[in-house]
Amino acid sequence: MKIALIGYMGAGKTTLGKALARQMGLHFYDLDWWIEEKAGCTIAQIFAQQGEDAFREMERQALHEVMQKDDIVLSVGGGTPCFFDNIDYMNSQANTVYLNASVETLKAHIRMGGSKRPLVDGKSDEELTAYITTSLQKRESYYRQATYQVQIATITREEQIENYVEEIQRRISC
C-alpha cells in the first residue's frame, strides 16, 4: 500500500499524512523532511544557496527513492507534482489524493503553521492571498490528475483530522 498526498502548501498534507499512517499502520514520510535530512540543510537554505532548479532535481530524486518503499503514506511538497513527470510517476506508484483547499483555508493554515516557507515568508495578507491565488491556478491542473480528491476546510480540531482520515480511507478503498 502506497498513498501520496498532494496539494498546495498549507493543505494539511503532513498533518493528515501522519494521522493517516498511524491509523492504517503505515510508515509516514514527508518528502521535504527526507530532502533536508539527505542534504543536511533546510529547504529554505537549498533555495537560497542553490536555487529552485537544483531543489526540484533533489526533490525528483528523493521522490523516486521514497517511492521504492512499501506500506507508506507520503506527503509531498506543493510543487512536487508540477515538475518533470512527477505526477505521472506518483500516479503509477501510489494512490494519489489531492487535498483541495480554498485560498482562505490555505492562507489560514500557512499562518497557523510555524514553519518557514521560502516562497511565502514575509508576505502581507494581501500579498499572500494574491500569491496563493496565482500559483494555485498554475498548479491546479497537475493536482487534479490525482486519483482521488478530498475537499479540505480549515483544520482547527483533532476531530476534523480524524474525519478527513476516514474520508481518505473510504476513497482509496472503493
Q: Give me the CATH number covering residue 13.
A: 3.40.50.300
Reduced to 3 states (helix: H, G, I; strand: E, B; else coil), residue 25 is coil
Integer angstrom CA distances of residue 20 from 25, 113, 127: 8, 19, 33
Q: What is the tens place of the pLDDT at every residue in 125-152?
A: 999 999 999 999 999 999 999 999 999 9
| CB-based burial label for 70 (10 Å; 0-12, 13-18, 19+) | exposed
Nearest to 169 by CA among 142, 143, 153, 150: 150
Q: Give how many domains the chain has, as a whole number.
A: 1
Phi-psi sector, 84: left (phi>0), alpha (psi -120 to 50), beta: left
Q: Tell me the residue range of the domain where 93 lies.
A: 2-173
pLDDT score, position 12: 96
pLDDT score, position 174: 72
Residue numbers of the chain with a pLDDT score lower than 70: 114-116, 118
pLDDT score, position 44: 86
Q: Check if the beta carbon of residue 31 is closer than 8 Å to that of residue 59.
A: yes
Integer angstrom CA distances of residue 71 from 21, 40, 67: 9, 26, 10
pLDDT score, position 115: 64
Q: Residues, the chain, total?
A: 174
